Structure 1
Amino acid sequence: MSRRTSRKQKIEFSKLILYVVGAVTVGVTAFTLIMVWKTENLEPLAYLIPAIFAELATATGFYYSKAKAENRIKLRKLYGPEIYNDAKEI
């Protein structure tokens, strides 16, 4: 068995951030729903749920922006700079 296949793959930091934000979103949503059910007060739904989902949307947007930039680099290496028609002519 080679050394490369026996190593555990390290997760990218950007994916880790996305997973943590997703887990926090699920946790805050569950906590809010439980507290609304116990206290019979609907006011937290107006503040906590939109705030945490805005955080998730921001993290997701930045993650996809990073992935887009990385994919452009990979495609330029594979197909050359003319693939996006934004290469500067010398």
Structure 2
Amino acid sequence: MMYLDRNNLPPTFGELMKREREEGEKKGLEKGIEKGIEKGIEKGIEKGLIKARRKLAMKLIQDNFPDEYISDLTELGLDEIKAVRGR
């Protein structure tokens, strides 16, 4: 009696659909992770820029520059300059 070897049979429609779904999920997950990393990097850069601007503002405050001038140089708003100044 001859037995069928399951490994030599073509995949069923259900198996093909399962593979396609799994590949789609994998690609979607990879894209999601990639976008998450990009957003995280962007947020980190933005936080670093704000920190650098505040640090520059503090130095200019210590050198008695007017708030409007500090705002122009650092691109921080006057409210932010006052917050850095501590008022």
Normalising by the residue count of structure 2, what TM-score does the alignment of the two structures yield?
0.42
**Which is greater in Rg?**
2
**Structure-1-length-normalised TM-score:** 0.41
RCO comparison, higher one (Cα < 8 Å, 6+): 1
